[in-house]
């Protein structure tokens, strides 16, 4: 093993392919991560080794959108097993299902979610989603200011998810606390591991409750899923619960934060949407594209030379979805918002068999949030002199966003 910047680099990695990419070696990441990702292809080889990835565990990264899509669409070579690292935090093997199950088994689990998370099933939720947005907005719209992340971005999707999943509203503060401790990599491993166990125990209790007292919600529906004509085991159910819990909370909150930061910093774009509400659906796709917040991990299933680079079985490959969404070869002026961009095949919801199951709900949440804000809040901007830092990790997010109007 060779050492560089206190990082460990495996012997099969050529020195010229090593590029540490983290908040310490690349301070700009904490200010403008998407600019860094958009320009990564200029300073890094198409496939490079980032010893700082995964909290210093190291792994391959990709700076070319086309190669990334190939990785995401080749599960036989790039496995999703243990891709999230939650088993490690939990201290026990727990596949997040269907995310950490590879094809062909994957579809047997995935197929059950197609209906409950389809546009047709999600659409009737719009009134409840809108009511949630309005309730949150009414708390601060007369004050002329808010801390957008805490007051809206985090609360909005969590309340909607809890309703969809069938969690008691009284558990809101507890869920928020778990979520914050688990997903923010600035927290210690101990804090995150404890949060993972707390969530697991919460979900075990919830499973018992849903069995004893079934309801019209997704958590109860999962109890009826079957695979190969058998009922799911408790472990499989908990794997689904854990995935939905993690996936339902942080990603939309992060997307909202970056979209509102863009609108607050670009009054013309804000006014354009106020004057042309029909552009909102296109704007949402553009916000997802410009700020693809998720980073996904795959592990190499066999020794292989991939695009000229020797990968070893067990190596991790890190796919920063923003790199594909900001690839200039596919998206002209990729860092600029074009609300009428078409086609817009961004990577915010990932590609391949593991495409995000919750994309229809995410789009609904973003659209309703935008409509209600633009209806109720006059032209808003970022509080003068505010330092806006970014939390880096598996989901990139804003630490805070003070807005005034």
What pLDDT shows up at residue 3? 42
Q: Which of 341, 345, 152 is nearest to 256 (CA)?
A: 152
Tally of CA atoms within 13 A in the half-sphere of 345 that contains its CB: 8
Q: pLDDT tens for residues 207-227?
A: 999 999 999 999 999 999 999
* Phi-psi group of 121: left, alpha or beta (phi > 0 → left; psi -120 to 50 → alpha; rest → beta): alpha
Secondary structure of residue 95 in the 3-state scheme: coil
Secondary structure of residue 18 in the 3-state scheme: strand
CB-based contact 139:392 (threshold 8 Å) = no
Q: Does domain 2-404 have CATH number 1.10.630.10?
A: yes
Q: pLDDT tens for residues 4-49?
A: 456 789 999 999 999 999 888 888 998 899 999 999 999 999 999 9
What pLDDT shows up at residue 1? 41
Positions of the chain with pLDDT under 70: 1-6, 185-186
DSSP 350-367: -SGGG--TTHHHHHHHHH
Locate 283 and state its tokens: 């704007």
Locate 78 and state its tokens: 């790039």
What pLDDT shows up at residue 27? 85
What pLDDT shows up at residue 170? 97
């Amino acid at each position: 093993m060779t050492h560089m910047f206190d990082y460990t680099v495996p012997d099969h990695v050529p020195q010229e392919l090593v590029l540490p990419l983290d908040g310490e070696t690349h301070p700009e990441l904490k200010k403008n991560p998407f600019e860094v990702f958009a320009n990564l292809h200029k300073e890094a080889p198409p496939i490079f080794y980032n010893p700082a990835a995964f909290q210093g565990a190291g792994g391959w990264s990709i700076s070319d959108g086309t190669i990334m899509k190939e990785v995401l669409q080749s599960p036989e070579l790039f496995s999703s097993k243990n891709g999230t690292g939650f088993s490690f935090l939990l201290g026990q093997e727990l596949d997040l299902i269907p995310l950490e199950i590879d094809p062909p088994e994957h579809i047997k689990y995935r197929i059950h979610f197609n209906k409950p998370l389809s546009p047709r099933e999600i659409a009737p939720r719009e009134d409840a989603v809108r009511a949630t947005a309005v309730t949150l907005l009414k708390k601060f719209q007369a004050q002329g200011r808010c801390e957008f992340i805490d007051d809206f971005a985090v609360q909005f999707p969590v309340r909607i998810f809890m309703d969809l999943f069938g969690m008691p509203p009284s558990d809101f503060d507890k869920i928020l606390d778990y979520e914050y401790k688990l997903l923010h990599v600035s927290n210690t491993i101990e804090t995150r591991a404890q949060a993972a166990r707390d969530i697991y125990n919460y979900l075990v209790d919830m499973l018992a409750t849903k069995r004893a007292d079934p309801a019209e919600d997704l958590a109860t529906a999962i109890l009826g899923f079957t695979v190969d004509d058998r009922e799911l085991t408790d472990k499989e159910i908990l794997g689904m619960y854990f995935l939905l819990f993690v996936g339902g909370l942080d990603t939309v909150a992060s997307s909202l934060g970056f979209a509102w930061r863009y609108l607050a910093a670009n009054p013309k774009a804000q006014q354009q949407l106020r004057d042309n509400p029909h552009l909102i659906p296109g704007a949402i796709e553009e916000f997802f594209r410009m700020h693809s917040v998720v980073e996904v991990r795959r592990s190499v299933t066999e020794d292989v030379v991939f695009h000229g680079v020797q990968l070893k079985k067990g190596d991790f490959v890190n796919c920063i979805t923003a790199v594909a969404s900001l690839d200039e070869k596919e998206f002209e002026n990729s860092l600029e918002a074009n609300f009428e961009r078409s086609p817009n095949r961004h990577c915010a919801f990932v590609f391949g068999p593991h495409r995000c199951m919750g994309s229809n709900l995410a789009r609904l949440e973003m659209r309703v949030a935008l409509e209600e804000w633009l209806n109720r809040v006059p032209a808003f901007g970022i509080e003068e002199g505010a330092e806006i830092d970014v939390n880096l990790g598996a989901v990139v997010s804003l630490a805070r966003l003070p807005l005034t109007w």
